[in-house]
Amino acid sequence: MNNDIKGMCLFLGLIGLGYVALLILMMLLTGAKIIKSIMFISIFSTFLISLGLTPQVKKRLSNYLKTLTIKQFT
């Protein structure tokens, strides 16, 4: 995949996750029921971010998460 497209996927994914954070804040303050929208946007944004990451970064992230979970349960 082209580096420009990867960068655009990362950018749009991070904007989406920021929007999810704002929606969660709005939901907490107003009591609005927008769980389905939050779930859809967060899943789509996570997909875009995973498209934009290189295989090396994905591997490093998965190793880091594995070490965190091992440390937490020991």
Rounded alpha-carbon distances, angstroms, from residue 73 to 38, 57, 59, 65, 67: 30, 25, 21, 13, 10
pTM: 0.75
Q: How far apart are CA 55 and CA 29, in angstroms?
A: 39
| 35-73 tens-digit pLDDT | 899 999 999 999 999 899 888 988 998 899 888 888 777
Answer whether 14's CB lies under 8 Å from 32's CB. Answer: no
